[in-house]
Structure 1
Amino acid sequence: MSTLHILMAQMNTMVGDFEGNTAKVLAVLARAEQAHAAPVVVFPELTLTGYPPEDLLLRPSIAPRVAQSLAHICSAMNGGTYAIIGYPLLEDGVLYNAVGVLHRGRVLAQYRKQCLPNYQVFDEKRYFSPGSDACVLEIEGVTVGLTICEDIWEKEPALQASRAGAQVLLNINSSPFHRGKRGERWATLGERAKQSAMPIVYVNQVGGQDELVFDGASFAVAADGAVKATAPGFEEGEYWLQLDSGTQPATLTGCDAHPQEDDLEAVWRALVLGVRDYVNKNGFPGVVLGLSGGVDSALTLAVAVEALGPERVEAVMMPFRYTSQMSVEDAAEQAATQGVTHKVISIESIYEAFMASLAEEFADTLADTTEENLQARCRGVLLMSISNKKGCLVLTTGNKSEMAVGYSTLYGDMAGGFDVLKDVPKTLVFELCRYRNSLGPCIPQRVIDRPPSAELAPDQKDEDSLPPYAVLDRILALYVEQDYSAEAIIASGLDREQVHRVIRLVDVNEYKRRQAPIGVRITQRGFGRDRRYPITSAWRPGE
């Protein structure tokens, strides 16, 4: 019987940081070698470049940089450790998404990813060519097979490795989070393990990269499909497994099963990690946001404080004549509760100066949304000026429901660098606020209870302009995330007039979303990498 000590190295890499990523790899390898004589250390997909590197893969210097990093790692591997590590591989002018087995200063074997995802946020066929062959090799008396991410979602690569004699399959991943993703992974790997009659180890990247969040949550399944070991979600770490090959099939034991987050906790942690990594990886000293006394900015502030600490967050209340005293009080209360810097800067005089300058242009016209938008733009100017002066990032506070139907102002409340709630529907905003308050005092209860309002006009309520959010979010989920037609949505029991109106608003506001900041993706289809619709189009909502 042979025994393998396998380390799941759940790493947070940075795209393009070859030196930093290589240094992290070497540190993990050094710790692993101290723990066991001949460990197998499994790193995520495209560890050396970070994932997704996008068009950096088209740069001529990518191949020599990868080669340099591999040489550096190999030169440090004088002991018995085996490193299973992902990187782009250029061969005869063809680029592959590859995983290599490094041992005692050389590359023992390389596997080329066969199934290249080209849907949702993925466009790997733009960069890579597919491999076609299994990669199976003996490591310390155990026959090990290799696959990469999407390969495990198809039947053939795992079966191919099994037919070649693999006793265990190591699958490296850079799999982004969305709601329900962990259950999908467990079910899929369980099925593959049973089909191929061998245990599978699934190692995933962790961390935020622009709008994507990788949740880690690495795990291993036995040959019967049962989940045997789970790593925590949303944090880096190193987790040991043991494979005993004396049984048929091989037996996998290892790290304790870490408690798994429920849906709300997972979304909360994804938002926090996405903000933390975007701010830190881009070198911002902190963030500033407009704290209006409403529920969206309240949740945005709570996420920012959790991600960065109160000392790196500034909240600015920018009242106007339509701002209620309740809003002013609630914003001040939350800022005090969370210990952030809190400023109050009225936009009254700024608005009046704009209106005076525009008096001739606006002569003989009635007040309409123009004046409402001007209020939002005054606030946007203030926040961006603070950002410029202090070097901090402006967090915008629009939610997915508002972004979908254009209930937002270009160069106003959309002005900023990162939208924390961009993929969070309004109904989920309320759920997350209640979840956050369950952890400790944070958001004043009446912020959650009061009817949502932009407070841009007297007694204004969001539902004066939009369907109730429960209805709106149901329509949006069917149209945006599930591609239902208008008729199919109506057939599900929703009002015809409301459905056509909402869909029309979604379609005509594509131009706004193209100019919006990026934000954390938490659903299977957000407004970003995985939804690209034309701005100019004769498409009709019933189609």
Structure 2
Amino acid sequence: MRIALAQFNPVVGDLAGNTRKILALAKTAMADGADILVTPELALTGYPPEDLLLRPHFYRSCAAAMDELLELDGITLVIGHPMRIGEEAFNAATVMRDGNILGRYHKMSLPNSEVFDECRYFTPGAAPLVFRQGDVRVGVLICEDVWSVEPAACAADAGADVLVVLNASPFHRNKIGTRHGVIRYRVEETGLPIAYANLTGGQDELIFDGASFAMNRQGDVAAQAPAFDETLLQLDFHDGDFVNGPQAALPDPLESTYRALVAGVRDYIGKNGFPGVLLGLSGGIDSALTLAIAVDALGADKVHAVMMPSRYTADISVTDSRDMVARLGVKYDEIAIWPMYEAFTAGLAPAFAGLAEDTTEENLQARIRGTLLMALSNKTGKLVLTTGNKSEMTTGYCTLYGDMAGGFAVLKDVAKTLVYELSRWRNRETEVIPERIIVRPPSAELRPEQTDQDSLPPYEVLDAIMQRYMENNLSAEEIIAEGFAEADVRKVVRLLKINEYKRRQAPVGPRVTHRSFGKDWRYPITNRFS
């Protein structure tokens, strides 16, 4: 028996387009001798459909698309899709062949943590599904089912010889190894080999990295699909186990993070139909890395970088920006903001009379830049990429309607220390980010001799505290007990709490850690808990 895993990149809600892709993959699989095609979870609709699942017409459209797939002959299809029965909706997999429905499975374990809220939409299933393909009994699971003991055990008890799992498992750093470990546990518990089909591509802030695979009865990876690429992984099943097949090399954590960011930009821009992107280039490392990612995702012809110097912008910032855009070949403009700043301050002078200069004047510069970028966006249709990182989002070291103005926040889930690592990784073969940008002290350049560390702890300290408090839910006291200076911990925690109102107004950005400031962060703005 040959099983083909369809690792592909759907578009949420594009039922016609996704159906065409599934049919094309099925025909290719048949030509290669496959008996079964397994799609990822909710492959018909893309994942996650979110509140589309509250619309009755959406289910009727899904049913019509499933009827079209039912017309294909010559191969068994295992299709992930939503379905409605009466007042209940299910995350389902339908097994069909030659116009016949061989069985339907309803996902038993509905995740309701991190980025998942399937309990909002679906009713859990209660029964296993095992179907026959020749002499082989194939059990079906959907994503979270395989992270739990019971659904796999139920399929084994129902007589399955092999398990196939339909997945929409989002990327975060080190996720591939975690998946292998979980599947190995299920193999050990059930004694059954498992095939794991996963989505690839970007959907708003979620990135799906593919990396579908098969694990044999010994707990070894018998076949491995590449990460991030669409592919059809063919698996041969013989004498009760998978035969060793293709073994794609998997990226290390830095490469996988960079490729996830590239996929996020590519699909957010491409799937939403934007003609390209704009970004403000400052001569600093964050905007430099964002520019490199944008070019790798879209090509230089779709990227427009704009340098907007003020009297506080260092000459080397302009020089390094010009150097980088020359290396990448993107469209580039320079627009001096100081005349505009002087016009603003002159207009505000009567209202500001008797008040000392403070961060208001610094933020005004950032807001002028944001206004210019948004004007260019309106005129050209290109989307503005913001360049702030996770460390800045944590502490509020960013300006509403200034550097936060835009449509997609590329580094929103990338801590500053990781920004440096990714920049050096990107430069490993070809230096696209000038070395001086990487080594010079970071600065917002909004006042004379300014550096980030005037206002913040060193980024190595800040990021370590942020990771423990925000990503791992440790308390301030627990972090202090690890040896961090109490003043630093209290400062970071306080800044995180008082800046939630800013984060709520930030654009979405790709998730690359197990907890981002997005779907999996729901912190009350009005909050007095200490």
TM bucket (normalised to shorter chain) is over 0.9
For 1:534 and 1:196, the matched residues in 2 are separated by: 43
Secondary structure at 1:61 match in 2: helix
1:509 counterpart = 2:499: yes
1:28 counterpart = 2:18: no
Q: 2:306 aligns with which of 303, 316, 329?
A: 316
Secondary structure at 2:104 match in 1: strand
Structure 2: where are the runs of 5+ without partners?
Answer: none
Runs of 4+ in 1 over 6 A off after TM superposition: none
1:191 counterpart = 2:170: no
TM-score (norm: length of structure 1): 0.97
1:282 counterpart = 2:277: no
Indicate the residue corresponding to 1:70 in structure 2: 66
Indicate the residue corresponding to 1:17 in structure 2: 14
1:454 counterpart = 2:454: no
Indicate the residue corresponding to 1:91 in structure 2: 85
For 1:226 and 1:366, the matched residues in 2 are separated by: 67
C-alpha displacement at 1:256, in angstroms?
Answer: 1.4
Indicate the residue corresponding to 1:114 in structure 2: 108
1:417-428, aligned counterparts within 5 Å? 417-428=407-418
Matched residues, number: 530
For 2:73 and 2:421, the matched residues in 1 are separated by: 53
1:473-512, aligned counterparts within 5 Å? 473-512=463-502
Residue pair 1:169, 1:199 contacting (<8 A) in 2 also: yes
Q: 2:165 aligns with which of 171, 182, 188?
A: 171
Secondary structure at 1:217 match in 2: coil
C-alpha displacement at 1:137, in angstroms?
Answer: 1.2
For 1:507 and 1:107, the matched residues in 2 are separated by: 53
For 1:53 and 1:104, the matched residues in 2 are separated by: 28
Residue pair 1:9, 1:43 contacting (<8 A) in 2 also: yes
Indicate the residue corresponding to 2:127 in structure 1: 133
Secondary structure at 1:518 match in 2: coil
Residue pair 1:322, 1:455 contacting (<8 A) in 2 also: yes
Indicate the residue corresponding to 1:59 in structure 2: 55
C-alpha displacement at 1:60, in angstroms?
Answer: 1.3
Look up the equivalent residue of 2:470 and give its one-letter code: V
Look up the equivalent residue of 1:52 and give its one-letter code: P
> Bigger CA drift: 27-36 or 429-438?
27-36
1:114-146: CA deviation from partner (whole Å, max 9, x where unpaired): 000000000000000000111011112210000
For 2:403 and 2:493, the matched residues in 1 are separated by: 22
1:364 counterpart = 2:377: no
Residue pair 1:190, 1:227 contacting (<8 A) in 2 also: no
Look up the equivalent residue of 1:14 and give its one-letter code: V
Secondary structure at 1:138 match in 2: strand
Sequence identity percentage? 54
Q: 1:221 aligns with which of 198, 210, 215?
A: 215
1:407 counterpart = 2:397: yes
1:105 counterpart = 2:99: yes
C-alpha displacement at 1:254, in angstroms?
Answer: 4.6
1:249-287: CA deviation from partner (whole Å, max 9, x where unpaired): x12025311111001000000000000000000000000
Secondary structure at 2:288 match in 1: helix
C-alpha displacement at 1:92, in angstroms?
Answer: 2.2
Structure 1: where are the runs of 5+ without partners?
Answer: none
Secondary structure at 1:438 match in 2: coil
1:1-59: CA deviation from partner (whole Å, max 9, x where unpaired): xxx111011010010000100111111111122221x6200100001111000000000
Indicate the residue corresponding to 1:336 in structure 2: 326
Look up the equivalent residue of 2:57 and give its one-letter code: S
Residue pair 1:240, 1:254 contacting (<8 A) in 2 also: no
1:155-176: CA deviation from partner (whole Å, max 9, x where unpaired): 1111111111100000000000
CA RMSD of aligned residues (A): 0.7
Indicate the residue corresponding to 2:3 in structure 1: 6
For 1:485 and 1:439, the matched residues in 2 are separated by: 41
Look up the equivalent residue of 2:353 and give its one-letter code: A
